[in-house]
Structure 1
Amino acid sequence: MAKSSREMVEEFKSFITFVEELRSLEEEYWDKPISEGKWSVKDIISHIMLWDRYFYDEGIGKIKLGESVTVKHLNFDDFNLKAREYAKTQTSDAIIEQFLAHRNKIIENISGLTEDEYLKEYKDGDNKKFSIRGYLKGFIPHDKHHKKQIEKYIKSQKQVKVK
């Protein structure tokens, strides 16, 4: 059975708790790649935070204001490279705070919408369909994928120190 939009919002919101729990991870573990050739925890959370910011600024926030949706299908590699570069300029605490601010803005704007409002389709900046439900449907598995990667990395560190 398909999940209701309310259930999807709760699932999307649950990643907040996971990121808050990462505060206890020592800074050195934030900056090390999670495995050879992979990103660091800081890179991953920066990447998610910047996607949240983008989709809020260009999609969800515009919908809330009754403006045209300007989300475009960006070059993921370029966007993600910029997210990793940005992560290098921030502390883990700063990345966490920014993630929380952007994710909470999204949650505040989509909580309490009717099922019709979740399903409503808008034309995005590429003249393709955009809906809040579609957005959640795409990003919940994205969050889960990165959560599993981070959890595996933390478990692989034999003696992870907490702050």
Structure 2
Amino acid sequence: MNQYKKQILDHYQNSIDFVMSLKRLSEKEWRTQIGEDKWTIAEVIGHFPPWDQFVMQHRIPYIFSDLELPKGPDTEKTNSASAKISRMEEKEETIHRFIAARKELYEAIQQIPDGCWEKRIRIGKTKMFLYEYFYGLMEHDRHHFGQINRTLQSGE
């Protein structure tokens, strides 16, 4: 298996495990802000599924063509809508939505042939290798998971 593909798949499996571990949180912990004027843990986890769906529907299908990848949705609108949903739903539902979307993305990534990982893709005027795109997504996850871990450690 391509080393980049393996690294991304390992990360996505670890992200599923991490979010599953959040089931143990109390309601108070789950609704704790990760910083002043920042999202709660619930909102952070809830903002991932729409983006995972976007990657599956509007990124992965295009990597097999030479077409420019579609422009992403409005970040503020997408994040705001997903945060609102997470504020209203139960912890288990938010976690379930994350895990379902992430498993689907994991499966889609497994289907990407090894030779595609070093293929150049184009998003707007930006050109990058496919692995660089997924590495950026992985770093985004790590950033938020780090915020969650720091929040939980400081609250104990």
How many residues get paired?
A: 153
Aligned partners of 1:20 and 1:96 also within 8 Å: yes
Distance 1:112 1:56 in 2: 11
Measure how far apart 1:110 and its partner are. Answer: 1.3
What's the CA shift for 1:85? 1.3
Q: Structure 1 residues 70, 113: CA separation in 2 closer, same or farther (over 3 Å shift)?
A: closer
In the alignment, structure 2 segments of 5+ residues that lack a partner are: none
Contact 2:63–2:121 under 8 Å retained in 1: no
SS in 2 for 1:39: coil
Return 5+ residue gaps in structure 1 as ranges.
159-163
Deviation at 1:59, TM superposition (A): 2.2
C-alpha distance 40-112 of structure 1, shift in aligned 2 (>3 A): same
**Structure 2 counterparts to residues 1-163 of structure 1, below 5 A:** 4-60=4-60, 62-63=61-62, 71-111=70-110, 113-121=112-120, 132-158=130-156
TM-score, structure 2 normalization: 0.82
Deviation at 1:49, TM superposition (A): 1.9
CA shift in 2, pair 1:128/1:74, >3 Å: farther
Backbone CA RMSD of aligned residues: 2.6
Relative to structure 1, is the Cα distance of residues 69 and 103 closer, same or farther in structure 2, using a 3 angstrom cutoff?
farther
Given residue 30 of structure 1, which amino acid in structure 2 is its aligned partner? W
Deviant stretches of 4+, over 4 Å? 63-66, 121-124, 126-132
Structure 1 length normalisation: TM-score?
0.79
Q: CA deviation at 1:19?
A: 0.3
- The 1:48–1:28 alpha-carbon spacing in structure 2 relative to 1, beyond 3 Å, is same
